[in-house]
C-alpha cells in the first residue's frame, strides 16, 4: 500500500485560503483603487490566480496516492511552496508603490498569463508523468515534445515568469525581495535536486545534452 502524500495538497489549500482572505482584506482597505474602471484589476488578478491554483490542485490530488519515490525531494517541496506563498501573500498584504492603475500593471498581468499558459502547456505535455513531487513512476519515459523540445524544465520557467508578473503588478519591496531571494533560488535548488533523479532514467542524459534547463543557450 503506497504511502499517501498530502504535502502539496495541504500547501495548496493553505495558500488558497490565505489568498482569498488577504484579497478580501485588500479590497476593504482600497475600495476606490480601481474606481472608474469597468473591472477591479486586483480582484481580477486574484480570480485568475485562484483558477490556476485549482487546476494545479488536481495534480496535487493525484499525488496523494500515486506510487513513486518522494524521498528525492530533500525538503525542496515545502521550501518551494513556502516561497511561492510568501510572494503571493506579501503582494496582497504590503502596500504597492503604484498609487493608481497604470500600463506597467498591464505588462505584469500579461507576463503572469504568459507564464501560467506556458506552465500548463508543460504540465499537459507531460501528462501522467507530471508530479509536484520529485519521483519516477512505472513506465516513466522521456518526453521531448511541446515546450520540452526547447528546455528541460519549462514548468519551472512558467512558474518564474508568472510570479515575476505578479510581483510587477503588485509591486512592493518585500514581494520583489521574496521573489528574487526565496522563490527563484528555491526553484533553482529544486531543479538541481530533481535532476539527480532524472539522470537515472534511461535516455535522460542524451535528452539533457541537447537542451538547457530553463533558458535556451544560457542555463
pLDDT at site 188: 94
CB atoms within 10 A of CB 192: 12
pLDDT at site 216: 77
Contacts of 122 (CB under 8 A, 6+ apart): 130, 146, 147, 148, 154, 155, 158
Lowest model confidence (mean pLDDT) among 69-73, 146-150, 153-157: 69-73
Give the mean pLDDT of 35-60.
90
Per-residue pLDDT tens over the stretch 99-139: 999 999 999 999 999 999 999 999 988 876 667 666 655 55
pLDDT at site 1: 43
Contact in structure between 62 and 55 (CB atoms under 8 Å): no
Topology, domain 7-209: 1.20.120
Give the mean pLDDT of 5-27.
87
Give the mean pLDDT of 90-104.
95
Per DSSP, helices labelled H in the chain are 7-29, 41-63, 76-93, 103-126, 154-169, 173-178, 184-198, 204-209
Radius of gyration (Cα) for the chain, nearest Å? 18
Per-residue pLDDT tens over the stretch 186-204: 999 999 888 888 888 888 8
pLDDT at site 168: 98
Rounded to whole angstroms, the Cα distance separating 119 from 22 reads 25
Rounded to whole angstroms, the Cα distance separating 107 from 104 reads 5
Lowest model confidence (mean pLDDT) among 14-23, 53-62, 129-138: 129-138
Rounded to whole angstroms, the Cα distance separating 101 from 47 reads 18
Query: How far lies 123's CA from each of 13, 44, 62, 129, in Å?
Result: 20, 24, 13, 9
pLDDT at site 196: 85
What string of DSSP letters covers 63-108?
HTT--S--GGGTTHHHHHHHHHHHHHHHHHHSPPS-SS--HHHHHH
> What cell numbers appear for 132 in the block?
509536484
Average pLDDT, the chain: 86
pLDDT at site 210: 79
Is residue 166 over pLDDT 80? yes
Give the mean pLDDT of 151-159.
93
* Report for 61-70, 72-81, 126-135, 186-195: range of highest mean pLDDT: 186-195
Picking from 191, 180, 179, the residue whose alpha carbon sits closest to that of residue 85 is 179
pTM of whole model > 0.75?
yes
pLDDT at site 60: 66
Contacts of 99 (CB under 8 A, 6+ apart): none
Amino acid at each position: 500500500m503506497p504511502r499517501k502524500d498530502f504535502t502539496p495538497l495541504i500547501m495548496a489549500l493553505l495558500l488558497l485560503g490565505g489568498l482569498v482572505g488577504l484579497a478580501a482584506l485588500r479590497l476593504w482597505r482600497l475600495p476606490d483603487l480601481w474606481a472608474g474602471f469597468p473591472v477591479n484589476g486586483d480582484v481580477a488578478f486574484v480570480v485568475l490566480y485562484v483558477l490556476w491554483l485549482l487546476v494545479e490542485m488536481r495534480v496535487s490530488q493525484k499525488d496523494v496516492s500515486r506510487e513513486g519515490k518522494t524521498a528525492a525531494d530533500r525538503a525542496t517541496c515545502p521550501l518551494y511552496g513556502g516561497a511561492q506563498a510568501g510572494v503571493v501573500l506579501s503582494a496582497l498584504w504590503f502596500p504597492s508603490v503604484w498609487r493608481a492603475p497604470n500600463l506597467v500593471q498591464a505588462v505584469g498581468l500579461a507576463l503572469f498569463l504568459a507564464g501560467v499558459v506556458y506552465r500548463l502547456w508543460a504540465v499537459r505535455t507531460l501528462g501522467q508523468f507530471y508530479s509536484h513531487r520529485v519521483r519516477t513512476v512505472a513506465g516513466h519515459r522521456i518526453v521531448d515534445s511541446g515546450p520540452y523540445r526547447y528546455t528541460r524544465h519549462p514548468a519551472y520557467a512558467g512558474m518564474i515568469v508568472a510570479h515575476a508578473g505578479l510581483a510587477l503588478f503588485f509591486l512592493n519591496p518585500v514581494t520583489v525581495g521574496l521573489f528574487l531571494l526565496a522563490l527563484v533560488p528555491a526553484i533553482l535548488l529544486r531543479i538541481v535536486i530533481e535532476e539527480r533523479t532524472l539522470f537515472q532514467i534511461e535516455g535522460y542524459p542524451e535528452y539533457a545534452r541537447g537542451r538547457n534547463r530553463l533558458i535556451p543557450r544560457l542555463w
